[in-house]
């Protein structure tokens, strides 16, 4: 695999196809074992080709974050898409519904407010369409979602069910606060609370004579580390396809399970640092999702042509430069390093393409189809 990387222009985002395949298969097997549907979140890779790999491996559909992020996947023929973001702009909703209708895509939207429900209903009514809508439940991140300790979920489910242009499609959560957990056991505790909260909310809604078609949870840590997923009908992990240093710091993954890295070239060297051509515009300044600061640097570098596997921390970034603390190792100008990033999702969003690398030394360049699609 190394030989091909010596000939490519850097900085370059590289994906190890063998590890990617294993991660995709593991998620599919996990979902199958608990009898849940798998709907991976593609914001992690933003790649139509990888989404199709996930679908072939058994995914029921995909999850996206934004309207613009959904569009390349709709146009590519992905048949079933959930937009797990509370859309409230009628122009975005209308454009998305039009594109989905043109490609016969089954679209599910979410809401956590009466305003959002009304906006979706208005655009659906104007088109003579019926749109599936799920209620977002706040299970502890306190970002979006209705408060599960109140009757807000029941009220919103009723508002959706009472609209002729809408169909209540269940409840959805994201336990993103698991990224701030101190131990794997703390992640498991968050996963348990998420599951129990969602089951309780579903039960209350069904007592109102409203069927809950789906109980959907998402986040790689709580899908990977849990003490049971009984009652959950859908899983939406995203980062699992690549993994990263955030996941290893949580105990979710091992270094050998990280599929994505950045190959960079040493462009200068001094007594303290090797300076590489990957800075914040490549690696991002992310210390981990949801404000986590558990990681002290900006990635771990390894010498591409060495078998010693000595970690070289990326301690600082400017826009086009990375500062790698070499610890006295004799790194040479022109030498290449492989950097494991803190957060793979942000790295991919900054890249136009990735090199899909095989063990036989060959590679393919795959576009990041939804790159910078954040509207």
Cβ contact 242:15 at 8 Å: yes
Per-residue pLDDT of the chain (375 residues; tens, 9 = 90+): 555 677 789 999 999 999 999 999 999 999 999 999 999 999 999 999 999 999 999 999 999 999 999 999 999 999 999 999 999 999 999 999 999 999 999 999 999 999 999 999 999 999 999 999 999 999 999 999 999 999 999 999 999 999 999 999 999 999 999 999 999 999 999 999 999 999 999 999 999 999 999 999 999 999 999 999 999 999 999 999 999 999 999 999 999 999 999 999 999 999 999 999 999 999 999 987 776 777 989 999 999 877 777 899 999 999 999 999 999 988 999 999 999 999 999 999 999 999 999 988 899 999 999 999 999
Those residues whose C-beta lies under 8 Å from the C-beta of residue 21, and which sit 6 or more positions away, are 53
Q: Looking at the domain that runs over 18-241, which CATH code has it been given?
A: 3.20.20.10
Residue 38 CB partners (closer than 8 Å, separation 6+): 27, 28, 31, 54, 58, 59, 60, 234, 235
H helices present in the chain, as ranges: 2-5, 17-34, 48-56, 67-75, 90-102, 114-126, 152-161, 184-206, 220-224, 245-250, 280-283, 344-349
Token look-up 């949870």 returns 217
Are the CB atoms for 60 and 80 separated by under 8 Å? yes
Measured N-to-C along each axis, helices 114-126 and 152-161 cross at an angle, to the nearest 10 degrees, of 10
Is there a contact between 268 and 73 (Cβ–Cβ < 8 Å)?
no
Q: Phi-psi region for residue 277, left (φ > 0), alpha (ψ -120 to 50) or beta?
A: alpha
pTM of the model: 0.96
Indicate the pairing of strand 166-173 with strand 131-137. parallel
Six-digit token string for 152: 């807000």
The CATH fold assigned to 2-13+252-367 is Lyase, Ornithine Decarboxylase; Chain A, domain 1 (2.40.37)
Sequence ranges of the domains in the chain: 2-13+252-367, 18-241
Cα angle 136-142-147, degrees, rounded to a multiple of 5: 55
């Amino acid at each position: 695999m190394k030989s091909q990387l010596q000939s490519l222009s850097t900085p370059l985002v590289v994906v190890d196809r063998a590890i990617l395949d294993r991660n995709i298969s593991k998620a599919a097997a996990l979902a199958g074992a608990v009898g849940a549907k798998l709907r991976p979140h593609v914001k992690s890779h933003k790649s139509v080709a990888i989404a199709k790999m996930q679908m072939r491996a058994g995914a029921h559909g995909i999850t996206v974050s934004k309207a613009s992020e959904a569009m390349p996947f709709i146009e590519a023929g992905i048949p079933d898409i959930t937009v797990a973001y509370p859309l409230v702009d009628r122009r975005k909703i209308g454009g998305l519904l039009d594109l989905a209708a043109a490609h016969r895509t089954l679209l599910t939207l979410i809401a956590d407010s009466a305003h959002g429900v009304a906006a979706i209903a208005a655009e659906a009514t104007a088109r003579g369409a019926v749109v599936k809508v799920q209620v977002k439940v706040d299970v502890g991140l306190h970002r979006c979602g209705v408060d599960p300790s109140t009757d807000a979920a029941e009220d919103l489910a009723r508002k959706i069910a009472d609209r002729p242009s809408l169909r209540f499609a269940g409840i959805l959560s994201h336990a993103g606060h698991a990224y701030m957990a101190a131990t794997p056991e703390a992640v498991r505790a968050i996963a348990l609370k998420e599951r129990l909260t969602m089951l309780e909310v579903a039960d209350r809604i069904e007592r109102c004579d409203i069927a809950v078609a789906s109980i959907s949870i998402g986040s790689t840590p709580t899908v990977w580390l849990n003490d049971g997923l009984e009652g959950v009908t859908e899983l939406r992990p995203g980062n699992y396809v690549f993994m990263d240093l955030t996941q290893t710091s949580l105990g979710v993954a091992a270094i050998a399970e990280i599929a994505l890295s950045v190959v960079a070239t040493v462009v200068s060297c001094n007594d303290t640092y090797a300076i590489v051509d990957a800075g914040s515009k490549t690696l991002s300044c992310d210390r981990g999702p949801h404000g986590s600061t558990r990681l002290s640097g900006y990635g771990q570098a390894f010498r591409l042509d060495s078998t010693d596997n000595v970690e070289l921390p990326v301690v600082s970034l400017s826009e086009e430069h990375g500062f790698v603390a070499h610890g006295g190792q004799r790194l040479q100008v022109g030498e290449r390093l492989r950097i494991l990033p803190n957060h793979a999702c942000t790295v991919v969003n900054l890249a136009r393409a990735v090199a899909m690398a095989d063990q036989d030394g060959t590679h393919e360049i795959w576009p990041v189809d939804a790159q910078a699609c954040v509207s």
